[in-house]
Amino acid sequence: MNSQRIFVAGSKGMVGSAIIRKLEQDQTCEIITASKQELNLTDQASVNAFFKKNRVDQIYLAAAKVGGIGANLQYPADFIYQNLMIQSNVINAAHCNDVQKLLFLGSSCIYPKFSQQPIDETELLTGHLEPTNEPYAIAKIAGIKMCESYNRQYERDYRSVMPTNLYGIHDNFHPKNSHVIPALIRRIHEAKLANLKDVEIWGTGKPLREFLYVDDMAEACVHIQNLELSTYQHHINPMLSHINIGTNDEVSILQLANVIKDVVGYSGQLIFDSTQPDGTLRKLLNSQKINKLGWQPQIGLKQGLKITYDWFLENENQLRQI
């Protein structure tokens, strides 16, 4: 049997690199990657030329422009434009070059701000989005609908997964544009080094969040991609083709910050700035569907944070440059 040639878009990112680590365990896979310098995914002609040149059997579409509340507020045009272009170019080029299998990675922010909790897949497009990340969310919703549309019109096997908040090694630790976990790790670590008496954190600390370690996410992605089509279709409505991926557990930002404080070994105080936005107060995913399909997370929050902090320490000198 010929090996499966699998293209991982976004291979240098946190999620893409985790998917590659998982795929490398299967010796029948031939993994194809392309850096941003080698392939600009926002350029349609370049993407089409890449797929014409490289025979591909499967795609993991993990490439995206991502960031925390601050980045979403500052760069809304970048978030909607770049994500729409990346996914539109890759999904359409996949179809035009007869790639039958594709897995699109979305985000839990696709759901309405006031969704019923825990959030079922059927909540999509039932209400207003959280304003702070609406452009990014709209782009991701478009990606889901693109996969559904190509499946319906061309009988493709394009699947979508919606992860909860992800974290782990190779995360973005930028001091202003990162998500909450890497931002807190960096801020609390630097406060420890500087012997600061306190650390200021955006918001009230009250919002509840669900966090999934990235290697668990990669395991889920490969699991969903490899399911027999008949098994997948038995659990999926063709008009609602995405699957939630979460832990079914949640923690407040205050609790999270205290766990990180413990992992880092910081003895100062946490000060919450309530004049800054909290974002959605709660967004716990209902992950029963993927659980019924045979996947469960394996890495708990404190264990995952310890792995992530150890990686941060090993790469601290490089990360200081961003």
Query: Annotated binding residues, as ranges?
Result: 10-16, 105-108, 140, 163-166, 179, 187, 202, 209, 278
Q: Known binding site for NADP(+): residues?
A: 10-16, 105-108, 140, 163-166, 179
Q: At 167, is the secondary structure helix, strand, or coil?
A: strand
Is the previous residue joined to 118 through a cis bond, with omega within 30 degrees of 0? yes
Q: How far apart (Å, rounded) are the C-alpha atoms in residues 150 and 19?
A: 24
From residue 166, give the alpha-carbon distance in Å to each of 17, 220, 270: 13, 13, 23
DSSP class of residue 3 equals P
DSSP class of residue 240 equals B
- The residue among 181, 169, 259, 246 whose CA lies nearest residue 215 is 169
- The residue among 160, 135, 136 whose CA lies nearest residue 147 is 160
CA dihedral 213, 219, 222, 227 (to 10 degrees): -120
- For residue 12 the two structure tokens come to 């240098």
- The residue among 162, 192, 187, 161 whose CA lies nearest residue 70 is 187
Say if residue 76 is exposed, middle or buried (CB neighbours under 10 Å; 0-12, 13-18, 19+). middle
Q: Is 124 left (phi over 0), alpha (psi -120 to 50) or beta?
A: beta
Q: How far apart (Å, rounded) are the C-alpha atoms in residues 239 and 149?
A: 9
Q: How far apart (Å, rounded) are the C-alpha atoms in residues 144 and 302?
A: 32
Is 167 assigned a catalytic role? no
- For residue 304 the two structure tokens come to 């995952």
Active site residue: 60, 111, 136, 213, which one?
A: 136
Pairing of strands 251-252, 208-209: antiparallel
CA dihedral 136, 124, 108, 137 (to 10 degrees): 0
Active site residues: 136
